[in-house]
Amino acid sequence: MTAIAARPANPSAPTLSSDAILELVLTSLDDDKAEDILTIDLRGRTAIADHMVICSGRSTRQVAALAQKLLDRLKETFRLSARCEGKDVGDWVLIDAGDVVIHIFRPEVREFYQLEKMWQDTGNKPVA
């Protein structure tokens, strides 16, 4: 008996890898003017994800807009329905895109929780 490989819903869609998702996330956040974008490589450190992205928006409205545009792009590009929490409030939005977890904060909330310090390591990479 041979195994049958699953076919992608959209054969022309890019390959769904954590690196491809990360690239789209970083491009989307940068295009929409997110601030202080930081990536944390989690591979080999935890099983929750391969990458974590932390960034800030200037207001609750921008935080919610950054999240919504990112969700739309993930769905459009990869047909990925990512889970999202906190978009209605806009202080801290968490998006679970499988192997990439994204935190979008208002600056004051980001400073309060200091997630970067929890995961501090040489694997943290600020995005220019």
What does the pLDDT look like over 49-59, one tens digit per residue? Answer: 999 999 999 99
Number of Cβ within 10 Å of residue 42's Cβ equals 20
The predicted structure's pLDDT at residue 14: 58
103 vs 65: CA distance, rounded Å: 13
pTM of the model: 0.84
Cα dihedral 111, 86, 29, 21, rounded to 10, equals 120
Q: Which class is 18-126 in CATH?
A: alpha beta
Which pLDDT band holds residue 64 (cuts at 50, 70, 90)?
very high
